[in-house]
Structure 1
């Protein structure tokens, strides 16, 4: 009955269903894997937004808005203060407005997390995250009544945040992705494999969605490790079942004891891999029996 209800909700209320899955910590797979599964379902998964995000993920009309809960180092109490203020007095019009309404009840680190997570992108047209951070640093320096790390030694009187002359460099794409990875726990804006497009252009490989047509053949695949399960053979030798993911979907792999011993010590979810092996089918399920692992980068 639970499986039937889940299938019904996924089919008829996909955004709401996937938002609920994400809010409840997913399951066997990582949060990022569920986000990309939602995108493959045709849903748009959006960054957290200071005016639109609730504490949990929220889904509606083919869109999922990331909740403030995903900002892994943001205290729950800080998120609740933001939502309460927004409900009571309306949307925030700018970072300046946010800081004057909520800033006195937050810490600088909280605001840095919100900025790096993209929460102010929607109400800060024309401003980079570096510029927003500069504004935040100034606000908290004035709040504390002292200079912050010598950055404001030249200021002799209070200056409104909105009039602060911020001429900070723009954010590089790499900086933005690194910030997202640090505060959200993963790179959100692009699939991890998209960062290796030039390398992938030179590589002949089979995508996850095409593996079913290569049963019995030796293939090369690429992917990011999702999770893994170690088991032992009847001779007590360790082996591992590991799902990997590319931009088209998830696929299962098997590392038998010899290959497990040779490669599994170097596997983690932080980098993508090149996998070589034979595609096999068992009880209708497709997997790759891996015989070699390489680094994509």
Structure 2
């Protein structure tokens, strides 16, 4: 939409819990439309950012706007245009899928007939029509996440926040939810997705933002981030501990990844034959240390290693920051 405000606009956002600084001057802009992934280690500030944007937590300082509305001064206007699907499905297990959606539609101000129509349409859209009369407690994990996502769309939001939406799902259920998220973006909804599944971000996101120590350290498409921060990798496996240690000494801080247990390390390369040959001659001049080498394209894991100094955590939150 021409001249539409950004879906999310954060300027110098700060938030602490006691002595723990969670957001430290976060500045970030998310344009309207598409899927935008927010990545970061546990404690990087992803969930806190989402809670501030959803008006559930107040920032200590700085400004945060959603669809042009200030999250502190215009909370009611913000809540009219957003929806939040958190890490755990917010469902009444004693009610059926249909009853859950009708209840939420009524709370959103729809009349009885309109609420039933909206609930039926959402159940059909999320492939839950056959289970509409079953209690939510009987739903599988994937069905519960789809119902939770359907519930978040009762009010037809223009911006939806999905906080770790596929955590704990099996691959088939995750794939199904990916398809739904793609459909939402295709219908014009702005999706801000927090995730620790790098494949998920790579697959879904039009743009990826990386948080580290409460600030934004990277913003771009997956291809841009891989090209800028990842390059390509020359992965080397060594014959013994002595040759491994000597190679690590020669490379110094050019080493991008080390696995002493496997006697393996990696170094960035442009992938060209002359540079690969040069690197091999430099770090293994006697040609007796390297037993195997591979050149591969960068991944988002490499981006994480470059930006944070450590690999991405297992895909589950252990803190709420």
Q: TM-score, normalised by structure 2?
A: 0.28
Instruction: Name the structure where strand makes up a greater proportion of residues.
Output: 2
